[in-house]
């Protein structure tokens, strides 16, 4: 399946695979219900309004789920790449990224976070945030035939 603005890659995250193979199926089920509710019978507008609201809520929930899955998958990779050979420190780094654990938890687990390391993480995450911002803005612009909104 291809979408406007898709970045073509031979590999995709598990989160994207799940989005396309499961989460979109849940939305498709509601679209089928939407078609079934159509008609001219009394109460149609109220039923359609309820189905429309369910579609919007399900889309928001499924996309939030995708974003959470992608964040967790990226956090696992990031943690495994910055902390090698120490599973306790890796777990603490993952927890920091996913659950907002304090840096002291990393230190307590044997990962001696020095100022240079934090500065490197700061720089690297800033680059990541900048690239993600550009990618999302470009996709929005392409999807709607407009320029990057920011």
What mean pLDDT comes out for the span 1-29?
75
> pTM score, two decimals?
0.60
Helices (H), the chain: 14-18, 24-37, 44-82, 87-99, 103-108, 115-143
Q: Is the pLDDT confidence value at 42 over 80?
A: no
């Amino acid at each position: 399946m291809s979408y406007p603005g898709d970045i073509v890659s031979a590999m995709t995250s598990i989160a994207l695979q799940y989005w396309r193979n499961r989460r979109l199926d849940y939305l498709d089920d509601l679209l089928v219900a939407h078609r079934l509710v159509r008609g001219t019978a009394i109460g149609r507008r109220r039923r359609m309004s309820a189905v429309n609201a369910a579609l919007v809520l399900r889309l928001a929930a499924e996309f939030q789920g995708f974003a959470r899955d992608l964040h967790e998958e990226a956090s696992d990779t990031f943690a495994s790449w910055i902390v090698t050979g120490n599973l306790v420190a890796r777990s603490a780094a993952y927890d920091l990224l996913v659950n907002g654990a304090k840096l002291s938890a990393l230190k307590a687990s044997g990962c001696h976070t020095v100022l240079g390391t934090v500065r490197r993480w700061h720089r690297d995450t800033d680059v990541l945030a900048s690239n993600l911002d550009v990618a999302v803005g470009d996709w929005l612009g392409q999807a709607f035939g407009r320029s990057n909104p920011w």
